[in-house]
């Protein structure tokens, strides 16, 4: 479904651009296809039986620079999902004006069933299958769902062995001792926090707002942390097992500890009896001012969109709202901060990590935080201005800005 949503939004945005009809069709033909698709069979031996996992990489478009995109391990990973996400990455890089193209990859596997050794082995096998299509100036990988600095280190190590040289710039989100940037770990969540603050300053007259965060993985946790630092109170958080609602607010450190110890946020109720445990269905219908979607795609859809009460929805995850649901929410005047802006902090700081690896430039956390906040805020101002001027949603405005950048580049290269 994610591919249908992305292509639907892409088509609508392209054919709304103020360019010639034949140019619109040309741009659609370019961006609705990918430059290259690579797949692999990943062997996994268990109990003397060899099983085959599916691996994918879509290199969508490199008009602006080398392909760049996350690498995930998840049971839902498939060709269509990866294709849709690769398009979003192309648009994201264009929107925030960094010299990368879009890509996405992953392995289809039930992550929780894998041992640490098996995770390392399948990542290395993936690299051995695809390494000719990987490179610091070709295709740069980054962590995504169920991948982390440790697995990125395995990725780098295997690639460097195959190339017979250390190639630090081939992957971002690495451990610090391998020339990674620590700030990259929290950049996506911090960016979501900053864009939420920016939206509040534009669309709300008060700061004492009820905020819910769907998802408490890397993005959700650091979004929560940043919002706390900015003075906001989060009253509800959910994960795959359900949610917790605490009208007086949730203590971030205690929730993080409970999640780590017991595996779900729902056990927070054991330390605060005034909190309620929610089903994921109940969570979506919460009466809150702001809902931050920071887990997986297709969370709000036709079946549950009518229950959504939040006035501001921030897409910390990629494509968490289907196109049909998005149109219904827009008709209801709900404000949606689109994923290609809201969660762009990760790729922005990945760019700085890549620059550091390639050119040897070092950046302090203060410099990176300032750069992230400024980029998030200035890009929001630009798309908000387009939104008001054209009387279109923030999503359509963000797509419009990104597509105009890609169109000019394609035209300059003689492709259009």
Catalytic residue among 24, 68, 104, 373, which?
A: 104
Nearest to 249 by CA among 238, 267, 240, 237: 237
**DSSP per-residue string spanning 175-197:** -GGGT--TTHHHHHHHHHHHHHH
List all residues 6 or more positions away from 89 whose beta carbon is below 8 Å from its beta carbon. Answer: 60, 68, 69, 70, 101, 102, 103, 104, 347
CA distance 344 to 91: 10
Query: Is 104 marked active-site?
Result: yes
Question: 46 near 114, Cβ under 8 Å?
Answer: no
pLDDT tens sequence for the chain (416 residues)? 789 999 999 999 999 999 999 999 999 999 999 999 999 999 999 889 999 999 999 999 999 999 999 999 999 899 999 999 999 999 999 999 999 999 999 999 998 889 999 999 999 999 999 999 999 999 999 999 899 999 999 999 999 999 999 999 999 999 999 999 999 999 999 999 999 999 999 998 777 899 999 999 889 999 999 999 999 999 999 998 999 999 999 999 999 999 998 888 899 888 888 889 999 889 999 999 999 999 887 899 989 999 999 999 999 999 899 999 999 999 999 999 999 999 999 999 999 999 999 999 899 999 999 999 999 999 999 999 999 999 999 999 999 999 999 999 999 999 98
List all residues 6 or more positions away from 399 whose beta carbon is below 8 Å from its beta carbon. Answer: 9, 10, 13, 91, 338, 340
Q: What is the pLDDT of residue 338?
A: 96
pTM check: above 0.85: yes
Q: Is 90 exposed, middle or buried (0-12, 13-18, 19+ CB in 10 A)?
A: buried
Question: How far does the chain reach from its first CA to its final CA, in angstroms?
Answer: 30
Nearest to 337 by CA among 397, 385, 285, 286: 397
- Model confidence over 26-62: pLDDT tens digits? 999 999 999 999 999 999 998 899 999 999 999 999 9
Element holding 257 (H helix, E strand): helix 252-262
- Model confidence over 148-192: pLDDT tens digits? 999 999 999 999 999 999 999 999 999 999 999 999 999 999 999
CA distance 265 to 284: 16
Buried residues in 49-84 as b, exposed as e (16+ CB within 10 A): eeeebebbbbbbbbbbbbbbbbbbbbeebeeebbbb
Q: What is the pLDDT of residue 112?
A: 85
Phi, psi of 380 (to 5 degrees): -60, -45
């Amino acid at each position: 479904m994610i591919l249908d949503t992305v292509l639907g939004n892409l088509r609508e945005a392209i054919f709304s651009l103020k360019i010639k009809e034949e140019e619109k069709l040309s741009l659609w033909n370019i961006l609705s296809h990918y430059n290259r698709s690579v797949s692999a069979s990943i062997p996994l031996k268990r109990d003397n039986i060899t099983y085959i996992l599916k691996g994918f990489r879509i290199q969508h478009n490199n008009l602006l620079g080398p392909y760049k995109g996350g690498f995930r391990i998840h049971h839902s990973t498939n060709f269509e999902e990866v294709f849709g996400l690769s398009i979003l990455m192309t648009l994201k890089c264009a929107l925030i004006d960094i010299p990368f193209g879009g890509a996405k990859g992953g392995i289809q596997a039930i992550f929780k069933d894998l041992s640490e050794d098996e995770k390392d082995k399948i990542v290395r096998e993936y690299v051995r299958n695809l390494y000719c299509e990987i490179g610091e100036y070709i295709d740069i990988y980054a962590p995504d769902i169920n991948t982390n600095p440790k697995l990125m280190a395995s990725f780098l190590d295997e690639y460097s062995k195959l190339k017979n040289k250390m190639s630090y710039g081939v992957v971002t989100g690495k451990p610090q001792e391998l020339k990674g940037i620590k700030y990259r770990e929290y950049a996506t969540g911090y960016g979501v926090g900053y864009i939420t603050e920016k939206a509040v300053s534009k669309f709300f007259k008060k700061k004492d707002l009820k905020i819910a965060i769907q998802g408490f993985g890397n993005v959700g946790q650091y979004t929560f942390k940043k919002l706390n630092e900015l003075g906001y109170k989060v009253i509800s958080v959910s994960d795959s097992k359900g949610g917790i609602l605490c009208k007086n607010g949730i203590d971030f450190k205690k929730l993080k500890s409970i999640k780590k110890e017991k595996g779900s946020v729902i056990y927070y109720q054991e330390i605060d009896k005034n909190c309620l445990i929610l089903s994921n269905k109940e969570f979506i219908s919460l009466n809150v001012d702001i809902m931050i979607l920071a887990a997986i795609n297709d969370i709000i859809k036709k079946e549950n969109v009518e229950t959504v009460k939040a006035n501001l929805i921030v897409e910390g995850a990629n494509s968490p709202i289907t196109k049909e649901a998005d149109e219904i929410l827009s008709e209801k005047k709900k404000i949606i901060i689109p994923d290609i802006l809201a969660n762009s902090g990760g790729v922005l700081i990945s760019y700085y990590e890549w620059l550091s690896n390639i050119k040897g430039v070092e950046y302090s956390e203060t410099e990176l935080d300032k750069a992230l906040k400024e980029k998030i805020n200035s890009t929001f101002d630009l798309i908000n201005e387009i939104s008001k001027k054209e009387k279109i949603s923030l999503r359509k405005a963000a797509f419009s800005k990104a597509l105009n950048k890609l169109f000019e580049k394609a035209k300059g290269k003689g492709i259009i």
